[in-house]
Amino acid sequence: MPIATAIIADYAPWGNAELAFEVPADRLGSVDPTTGNFTQDLVTVEYLAAIKLQVPSWKADSGVDTTVYSCSGRLLHPTKLDPRITNGSQAFATINGYRGRFELVFDLAMDAYHRATLRQSIGGIFRVVGGPA
């Protein structure tokens, strides 16, 4: 379920990033009727965040887009990451009106006191995939 427009409006203009992580569902999963293989059921967990993008790091590689934005900010709604979201988790993202992929990178130098702040800090890298939303 997408983040409600009313929630986005409550945090305007700071809520510039929508992140959608797919995480394993609480139940065990199901069996694919066609193949008989076990499949893990996934649920989508969505967040509204205030994220600042840094100047992209770019390296010229023929035929390859290596543009990656470093980014950091804070979660707005909900204010804490689901425990199933771990370092390196990827999310479908829209940041500053551009669709792409966000990869979470935990600040491993942060102490427990700062991790327990009201609004959890969030950082990682963002790659634009597909252009404007």
Cα separation, 38 vs 28, whole angstroms: 9
Question: What's the confidence (pLDDT) of residue 67?
Answer: 77
Q: Pairing state of beta strands 38-39 and 30-31?
A: antiparallel
At residue 43, the pLDDT reads 92
Q: Give the chain's residues under pLDDT 70.
A: 1, 57-60, 64-66, 107-119
DSSP 64: B
Q: What's the pTM value of the predicted model, to 2 decimals?
A: 0.79
Residue 2 is predicted with a pLDDT of 73
Query: Cα–Cα distance between 33 and 85 in angstroms, integer?
Result: 29
| Confidence at residue 116, expressed as pLDDT on a 0 to 100 scale | 54
pLDDT of amino acid 109: 65
Q: What is the reported pLDDT for 131?
A: 73
End-to-end Cα separation, the chain, in angstroms: 17
